[in-house]
């Protein structure tokens, strides 16, 4: 069963592809998306990753929650927050 994860406190330079590659270390990624501002196109500092299995999602949370994520843009890496996404109201 697919599980969607919320990823917060992302460094500003992280792209969808960087997010996908990082989370593929934990399991099969269906989609990875960094949320951007509609007007400026800049990252809003969070995103969502959809994992193929609940086991992969649990492994991704274990691997990445409160770990430093480097955007490789010359800025200081930031500790990200990863947890299961809540459904929209």
In tens, the pLDDT along 18-33 reads 999 999 999 999 999 9
pLDDT at 62: 98
Q: In the numeric block, which tokens belong to residue 81?
A: 């927050």
pLDDT at 1: 83
Q: Give the up-direction half-sphere exposure of residue 51: CA atoms within 13 A in the CB hemisphere.
A: 23
What letter would DSSP give residue 18? H
pLDDT at 76: 83
Taking the whole predicted model, whether its pTM rises above 0.75 is answered as yes
Specify whether the CB–CB gap between 82 and 76 falls below 8 A.
no
Specify whether the CB–CB gap between 60 and 5 falls below 8 A.
yes
**Residues 13, 18: Cα–Cα separation, whole Å:** 9
pLDDT at 75: 82
Q: Domains in the chain, ordered, with CATH?
A: 13-83 (3.30.70.330)
Ranges of the chain with pLDDT below 50: none
């Amino acid at each position: 069963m697919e599980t969607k994860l919320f990823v917060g406190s992302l460094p500003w330079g992280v792209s969808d592809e960087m997010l996908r590659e990082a989370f593929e270390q934990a399991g099969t990624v269906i989609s990875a998306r960094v949320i951007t501002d509609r007007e400026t196109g800049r990252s809003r500092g969070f995103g969502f990753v959809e994992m193929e299995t609940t086991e992969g999602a649990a492994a991704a949370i274990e691997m990445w929650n409160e770990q430093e994520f480097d955007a490789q843009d010359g800025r200081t890496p930031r500790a990200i927050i990863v947890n299961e996404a809540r459904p929209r109201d």
